[in-house]
Structure 1
Amino acid sequence: MKGAVISGYYGFNNLGDEAVLYFILENLKREIPGVKITVLSNSPENTSKTYGVNSVKRDNFKDVIAAIKEADVLISGGGSLIQDATSFLSLLYYLSVIYIAKKLGKKVFIFAQGYGPVKRNISKKLAKYILNKVDYITLRDEDSKRDLLNLGLSPSKITVTADPVIGIEPEAIDEDAGKNILLKKGVDFKKPLIGISIRSHDDNEKIIEEVSRFVEIFQGGADFLLIPYHFPADLDISKKVMQKTYNNNVYLIEENIDPISAFSILKNLNLIVGMRLHSLIMACALFIPTIGISYDPKVDRFMKMAGNTFFMDAKEISGEKIYEMAIIRLKEGITKEERESILNLKKRAGETVKKLIEILI
């Protein structure tokens, strides 16, 4: 029986990373029935319960090494794991897991990751040394490939595909389950429903002020749903927007939800205004119009790849500008260029799975 260990930012209540894990698991189970999977997680009990797979504590290296010994391949990703913007220790952790797998003679597959930013010289040297040992690398954008080539990696084992979450198909999502969640929160679906995903950044007060202004300009002409994508990290800033608007047409997801529920909720929306990258990717996967508020180059990269011009820098966020974009998006929906770009990204996400199966089999 084939076996895989999956390493990533799992078990931290981050919807984007959990959606990545969901995609990997669903495809592995479909393509290799009976495959034995172990996920390295910050919360192994929750991961096992949610996805029905074996899971071990990600920082218990005795258990991590034991799991890798039993596997055929280590899958690293997706997301942006090889970066030192969060911390040097974060980068060191993910590279260490890869290094352990290679020392144990296992195959390593980088699953549709975004590389960087990597700023420290020691980080770059470690990344070059260890990533040169992996069997295959798939990336979610061309800029990441360029950075790895500049680092000195061979182009022969690098392919640009797409973020795996874009590969989720709308018909696989149960819309009614999400609708029931929203009905219990008081949403009556008599007006357009706009999702909002925001996070703390450089100027939280400005973000709160301008997002609240966007809501108020509608003057009750739409309902709004605040969705914390990283729980509970995004909950506080979402609550502050809700408190500032003083409207009874603003709703909040106050509990931690799994990616299956999140997709189901999103399928009931008419538009997403998002800072979190995966709020935008998940919406695009379901062909829901999006407006991006970019706090990181990865957001710009994705919006451009998706053929979407409706985004702005978080430093220049404006309630009026979001409103103007929202009126257009609600009226016109997904453009032809966006649909074609999204379909292409979906095809490329499927290529990641094919490459992985080739490595594993």
Structure 2
Amino acid sequence: MIKSALFAVLVGSSLTLACWSSGAANAATPAEAAAAGIEPYCVPWPIPVDRHPRTGGGSSFSNFGQTGSMMLFEHWRQPCGGTKSQIVLAYTPLEGSPFVCGGQARIIQNGMSTSQYRLVREVDGSDGGEFCGVLTEPTGLLIHIDDPDFQFNDDEEFEFYWDVTRPNDLHPGFYRFVAGPFRGDPLSTGELPPHGDFSGSYFDPERAGEGALIEVGQVDERKVLQVSWYTYDNGQPLWIYGVADFAGRDTRIQVPLQTFSGARFGQEFSPSDVSGTPWGEATISFTSCQHMNLDWVRQSDGEQGQYRYQRTVNRLLGSGCSNESPTR
């Protein structure tokens, strides 16, 4: 990506209440997300604070002079598929009242630098959820770049420099890291963590007449994926349904499937008549905003298959996820 997300923090001497910006975020188009420096949906939501296990990175304990505040910094690259990545920095308050806000560090690359950015929690490129205040828990935030003249590519080498010197400090202090070029994740499948904007109807144009309805959402704190697969059995319509929980970084979701029978239509319908029968299992994965893989195996005879589905529409209304978004 040309501009990319980065994370930055500042430990300040004043005590300021943490503040998320109010109001709902407007969905960003792919072009707007690129201009903001964010690869849409590469980083799971909520943004993880645990370092990715295969892409290196670093950490630092920092004590900031007279402020009495201490924080743990960790940074790494989140694989986005292929040779693309996104820089992630997570930070954990250890002592005092660390203050977090945008615009306090400098990103340096190819002889140019900028500090024009805001800290946001949205992973689709929209500018909602801006944070500026005292940090009270481990947190990850994306930088929303506001400098139209700074062309940043976080897959190449760059420097992150943050001067933390404060008045009355006996010695100057700074936090700095240099990230080398990203060389790819050897185990990457090019698949993306499920996101709500991936919900919708999918089909294979070569198999018109059947397809699947996918819903990615939450039940309290649980992340869940539901699939309703509409197909046929011996000439009769067949509806196969399943639901499964998944974790933030999961990219392949295994879903147990059932079929249902016994109930009647309309006023004669009764939930007590519904009977579920295990059918098999599906593995669902997404390779872009528009494309889904459905790998399945039937329990009764072991028959299996792999379908590559695409959306039936170009974009969900109001969503930044579209067929213009890069496939990986």
Fold match (TM-score > 0.5): no
State the TM-score, normalized to the length of structure 1: 0.29
State the TM-score, normalized to the length of structure 2: 0.31
Larger Rg: 2
Q: Please identify which structure carries the higher helix content.
A: 1
Q: Please identify which structure carries the higher strand content.
A: 2
